[in-house]
Structure 1
Amino acid sequence: MPETRVIGAPDRKIGGAQRPPAPSTRPAAPQPAAPKRRKGKTLAVVLVLIVGVAAVAFLLTRPEDSAATPQDPEPGMTIMVEPRNINLADGRYLRMGFAIELVAEAEEVPVAQATDIAIALFSGRSVDEVNDAAHRAELKDELTRQLTEAYDGEVHAVYFTDFVTQ
């Protein structure tokens, strides 16, 4: 009669009793920790939601462009101020002429007050100071500001038409 063989797990006996595990010559390798993917995915989803909510809030609450920036007044007529010699420091002088561009609604303004403001602003300065391009731009901005204030906002811009130092 043929022999019946039963093949089972090597650490189990036939009959149900378990055999103790064989001692290993190698130490057991540490099991790698399961990656924390759930926390990383949750954090990424939360960050995307926060950025999305912030973008929507910004778009809904930002002011309209036309209401936020005031309209620049339209330029009107230009008044020429004849060149004048202005005394600088160290016996030097500046020959300066300029034009005042008014806003569209403005009528002609007296030139004498503009000349007086320009003389007061440039008098006594050094030649190096008025010849430096950056400083000259600052002086021009200050002249524009003072003229705008003196003529109640009727000045749109100021342009130098003559500017010579000696």
Structure 2
Amino acid sequence: MSKTKAKAKADEEDEAPAGGKKKLIIIVLVVVLVAAAAWWFLLRTPADAKAEPKPGEVIALEPIQVNLADGHYLSIGIALQEVEGGHGADGSKALDAVIGLYSGRDVNELVKPEVREELKKELKKEIDHLYHHEVMDVYLTSFVTQ
């Protein structure tokens, strides 16, 4: 074998491993890019999910009377603030929650502003659960005890 043929054969053997390394690098890069794309489209939390819901329609419900302790009663009216794109909340679940929360309470307890605010927070939490986060706030439109 001549020196030229031996040198050419040696060059081919040197290029073969380099070609294999290039393929390996390309495959690794493709896998990394596919993984990054999958994370971007499937696992990333969109910015819209973190945003606060926008207020929608306010649904005012007719006031109802609730029996309190010692023969007293409470006339209470509420309004539901839906989130934008809500499905027109049926007020029956909210009124049932009002009756359950306020029935049997002492009238002297309900006239205290801090107690009234705490009960409103409890009502909002219950309504949020009942309406699957489609109601963003609850307003007391009337509150009369006797």
What's the counterpart of residue 163 of structure 1?
143
What amino acid is aligned across from residue 114 of structure 1 in structure 2?
A
The normalised TM-score by structure 2 is 0.65
Cα distance in 2 for residues equivalent to 1:128 and 1:157: 26
**Larger helix share, 1 or 2:** 2
Identical residues among aligned pairs (%): 43
Structure 1 consecutive aligned stretches of length 4 or more whose deviation exceeds 2 Å? none
What's the counterpart of residue 88 of structure 1?
68
Cα distance in 1 for residues equivalent to 2:99 and 2:71: 15
What's the counterpart of residue 77 of structure 2?
97
Moved more, 71-80 or 90-99: 71-80
Cα distance in 1 for residues equivalent to 2:89 and 2:98: 15
Task: Name the SS for the 1:116 alignment partner.
Answer: helix
Task: Name the SS for the 1:82 alignment partner.
Answer: coil
Which sections of structure 2, spanning at least 5 residues, go unmatched?
1-46
Cα distance in 2 for residues equivalent to 1:123 and 1:88: 5
What's the counterpart of residue 4 of structure 1?
none
Corresponding residue to 1:148 among 128, 133, 138: 128
Cα distance in 1 for residues equivalent to 2:89 and 2:123: 16
What amino acid is aligned across from residue 104 of structure 1 in structure 2?
E
What's the counterpart of residue 76 of structure 1?
56
Cα distance in 1 for residues equivalent to 2:75 and 2:88: 24
Task: Name the SS for the 1:143 alignment partner.
Answer: helix
What's the counterpart of residue 87 of structure 2?
107
What's the counterpart of residue 110 of structure 2?
130
Alpha-carbon RMSD across the aligned residues, in angstroms, is 1.1
The structure whose Rg is larger is 1
| Structure with larger RCO (C-alpha < 8 A, sep 6+) | 2
What's the counterpart of residue 119 of structure 2?
139
Shift of 1:105: 2.2
The normalised TM-score by structure 1 is 0.57
